Amino acid sequence: MMIFGPTVDVRPLFPRERQAMLDLLRALSPAEWAMPTVCPGWDVHDVVAHVLNDYMRRLSGSRDGYGGATFADDETLPAYLARTNEEFVRASRQLSPRLMIELMDHLGPRLDAVWAARDLQAAADLNVFWAATDIDSPAWLDIGREYTEFWVHQQQVRDAVSAPGADEPDLMAPVLDVFARGLPHALRMHDRPEGRTVHLEVLGPAGGRWGVVRQDARWQMAPPAGEPTAHVSMDQDTFWRLATRGITEEQARQRSTASGDAELTKAVTALLAVIA
């Protein structure tokens, strides 16, 4: 559906992002593997184990059709993800860094092949619930979400060990573009007359401009044009950290400029692209 905006095809970027991650990990000292990250209770080793879990989970589910862990009684999706992620990370603490690197290097191309075989316009294997909860996601958005997951976790490792990188515009811009597709969902509770628009401007080499319009009684992605009802501008580092809760909403607002409808600008700076 066009609510999500134009297709983003990130599939050619997976090998490059993974190579940057592997090069980084191979250079880490034992002390750096134990450095704490922004993820509560997780050090670098734990975040890498979590990425490996993502590889295995998507190969098992999307390639092999294996259902995996089941929900506990009355367990919500966020609670399920938190539990199963923590279970895998705890079990992986017995794995050596070398073995995890070897597994990522081995499994990554197999996951690339799964994405390469997908029809981008078909229904997603897993819906992107931070983009919409009432309609199915297209495959390209699901695959894009996975790319953002890997890229963000790499940045979290880089932050932990003070090793900037993998932020070239062609690697980073699709992350911001996919995260921006959460705007209609972020605005969903705010009814406005048909035709009202909201613009988001992200500044920096990887940034861009995105628009949302009130159409057919819901917010939908649309090319930014004319004078918007609300406008928010922030730099690229602030945007991805806001979307993944690397910073708070209040910190994001302090680093942003906003004009127009205050309720709508506040909703934009509450955008959340869940990385789990």
Task: Report the 10 Å Cβ neighbour count for 153.
Answer: 21
Taken in order 274, 251, 24, 164, is the CA torsion positive or negative?
Answer: positive
Q: Give percent above pLDDT 70 in the chain.
A: 99
Place of tokens 């999500």: 4
Global confidence as pTM: 0.95
**Mean of all residue pLDDT scores within the chain:** 95
| Residue 1 scores a pLDDT above 60 | no
Distance separating alpha carbons of residues 96 and 229, to the nearest angstrom: 53
- Strands across the sheet with 218-222, in order? 218-222, 208-215, 197-203, 230-235, 257-260
CB-based burial label for 260 (10 Å; 0-12, 13-18, 19+): middle
Residue 190 has phi, psi (to 5 degrees) of -110, 100
Q: What is the pLDDT of residue 2?
A: 79
Q: What is the pLDDT of residue 275?
A: 65
Q: What is the pLDDT of residue 77?
A: 78
| Residue 274 scores a pLDDT above 80 | no
